[in-house]
């Protein structure tokens, strides 16, 4: 029997965006960094949702998975 795994793309860890010194003195750089971190976090939680739904579809119980975003 072949083991089941979630999509390999969902198992890759995306590194958190790294701040630069410019975010301290440049409001545009700070805004861009904040947007990058927000997007990174959103992608991470979307991944958790996909893995949750995959696990549920493969027999895991007791999960409250979010609906897929469209």
- Which residue range forms the structural domain that includes residue 39? 8-13+21-57
Is 28 within a domain?
yes
- pTM, to two decimals: 0.84
**Is 35 part of a structural domain of the chain?**
yes
**Per-residue pLDDT band at 1 (split at 50, 70, 90):** low
Query: Using CA atoms, how far apart are residues 50 and 19, in angstroms rounded to an integer?
Result: 28
Residue 26 lies in a domain: yes
Query: Has residue 63 been placed in a domain?
Result: no
Domain assignment present for residue 52? The answer is yes
Rounded to the nearest 10°, the torsion over CA 57, 14, 45, 68 is: -50
Q: Which of 55, 57, 15 is nearest to 37 (CA)?
A: 15
Q: Determine the pLDDT at residue 3.
A: 63
Total number of domains in the chain: 1
User: What CA–CA distance (Å, rounded) separates 26 from 48?
Assistant: 33
Greater confidence (3 vs 21) lies with 21
Q: What sign results for the dihedral spanned by CA atoms 66, 40, 13, 6?
A: positive
């Amino acid at each position: 029997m072949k083991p089941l795994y979630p999509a390999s793309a969902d198992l890759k860890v995306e590194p958190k965006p790294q701040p630069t010194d410019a975010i301290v003195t440049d409001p545009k750089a700070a805004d861009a960094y904040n947007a990058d971190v927000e997007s990174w976090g959103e992608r991470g939680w979307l991944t958790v949702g996909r893995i949750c739904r995959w696990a549920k579809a493969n027999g895991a119980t007791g999960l409250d998975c979010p609906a897929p975003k469209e």
